[in-house]
Amino acid sequence: MNSLPPTFDRPGRAAVQLHAQRCARHPEREAAARCPSCGGFFCRECVVEHGGRLLCAACLAKQEGAGGPRRGRWRVVRRQLALAAAVFAAGLVFYSLGSLLLSVPPDFHEGTIWGLKGADSP
């Protein structure tokens, strides 16, 4: 078997070499993908799609270990900022509605603003 990485100079050549390879973890299985990070060949059960790429479990763990906690911190900060912005926006809406209700004259509630009380009296 040829263990050289596939070449892409001719169409179909990479697929032939991939088909001839075996999984690094399961030698009895035919390889379905090649990990772009480590270059190893793996079967369908050994690769995971992550970020539009097929990665082996070891490379995925390395990638998540390198950027995982840092991203997690920023995700928490973004959620907290979004919550604070939502609370501020809700407070602004309720303040505006309260100001609007306070600006309504008391005559409106009594009915005198429309002249209804004065129309019945002679």
Domain shared by 82 and 53, yes or no: no
pTM: 0.41
Residue 58 has pLDDT above 50, yes or no: yes
Whether residue 40 lies inside any domain: the answer is: yes
Question: What's the sign of the alpha-carbon dihedral 92, 95, 101, 103?
Answer: negative
pLDDT of residue 8: 46
The span from the first CA to the last CA of the chain, in angstroms, equals 112
The pairing of strands 53-56 and 47-50 is antiparallel
pLDDT at 71 over 90: no
Q: Distances in Å between the alpha carbon of 110 and those of 29, 98, 99, 100, 120?
A: 85, 19, 20, 18, 15
Structural domain count of the chain: 2
In a domain, 3, yes or no: no
H-run or E-run covering 41:
strand 41-42
pLDDT at residue 7 above 50? no
The verdict on 49 and 89 lying in the same domain is no
Greatest Cα-to-Cα distance within the chain, rounded to the nearest angstrom: 112
**Domain membership flag for residue 8:** no
- My answer on whether 23 and 50 are in the same domain is yes
* Structural domain of 112: 69-118
Q: Name the residue type at position 54.
A: L
**Residue 75 placed within a domain:** yes
Q: Which H or E run contains 56?
A: strand 53-56
Say if residue 21 is in the same domain as residue 38.
Answer: yes
Average pLDDT on 49-67 reads: 82
Domain assignment present for 93 = yes
Same-domain status, 75 and 39: no
Mean pLDDT of 96-117: 80
